[in-house]
Amino acid sequence: MNATIPDLTGKIAVVTGATGGMGQFIAADLVRAGAHMVTVARDPARADALRARIGSPAASRLDVIAGDLSRRADIVAAAKTIVDRYDQIHILINNAGAHFSEHRVSADGIEMHIALDYLAAYGLTTLLDVPLRRGHARVVNVASDTLNDTRQIKLAGKPRPATLDLSGIGDLADLNPAAGFAPFEAYARAKLMTVTAGYALARDLAADGVTINALHPGIVATDIIDDLVPPLLRPVGTLIRRGMLTPAEGATSATRLATDPEIAALTGRYFNRDKESTTPPVSHDLTTQQRLLILSKAHFAC
């Protein structure tokens, strides 16, 4: 058990992306602190590995729901299963994410960064609305500080924040098109969308004691890093990874934001590890926030 996590006996925690990378450490720490853990996994074999990491008898408090979080139907089905099984949810950590080096679209025709890095978090947060409100839940969206600077090599010049222009956008399928596709910028835009929607949802849920905050956990040596390292630096990739946080170290920032009693009342914030930080002005633009919510709601109404 992570000594910094309070006793979570009787609490229900939902964590996505819990079968690999940083997510398995988040899940294991919460379960060992007493929480009953729910996760959505595309690959049952990886869920077995998570159970082994947690160890018995704590692994008996792990509930694995089959599903691919890049697919709208699977998100809806997983949320329904969770709502049917659990009256309250106390913690939701939207940790699932990936970087795609080539343009790909989901089964629903949505660019994959938007589908997995944004819509999975938005979908679960909104579809689990009732149990989240009942549990006065703490929601943590794992983002990336690439939203503040999309340059892969930051040796000179000013930061180049991710952009989000929704004017003229009638469907989320219009975002991150194949023409002019830049993988790193597409990834950063999806993370910016998660933070932007989170600010709006935080205001809506605050009346019922639900908090929503976003987190950049630091530069963590996970599989995503292999894709994010620029080609020129890949020959020294092993050395670069040695200077990064381990997945276990990255997990501590997420579990702290989800459980620390001293920050329980904070909502609508963005943290770079344990320090509150800022996000691009567009993320605070009310018109952009509302347009994004309208487009996202329409996606799940299809």
pLDDT digits (tens, 9 = 90+) for 255-278: 999 999 999 999 999 999 999 999
**Residue 272 located in a structural domain:** yes
pLDDT at 235 over 60: no
Please write the tens of the pLDDT for every residue from 48-66: 889 998 998 999 999 999 9
In a domain, 55, yes or no: yes
Flag whether pLDDT at 186 surpasses 50: yes
Q: Is the pLDDT of residue 242 over 80?
A: no
**Residue 232: inside a domain:** no
Q: Count structural domains, the chain.
A: 1
Residue 226 located in a structural domain: no
- Is the predicted pLDDT of residue 246 greater than 90, yes or no? no
Q: Does the pLDDT value for residue 238 go beyond 90?
A: no
- What is the tens place of the pLDDT at every residue in 103-160? 999 999 999 999 999 999 999 999 999 999 999 999 999 999 999 999 887 777 899 9
In a domain, 267, yes or no: yes
* Domain contains 293: yes
Do the domain assignments include residue 122? yes
Q: How confident is the model at residue 44 (pLDDT cuts 50, 70, 90)?
A: confident
**Residue 82 belongs to domain spanning:** 12-219+250-301
Residue 194 predicted with pLDDT over 50: yes
pLDDT at 1: 39
More confident residue, 20 or 61: 61
Query: Percentage of residues in the chain with pLDDT exceeding 70?
Result: 91
Q: Residue 239: its pLDDT value, please?
A: 46
pTM (two decimals)? 0.92
> For residue 22, what is the domain's CATH number?
3.40.50.720
Give a yes or no: residue 228 inside a domain.
Answer: no
Amino acid at residue number 262: E
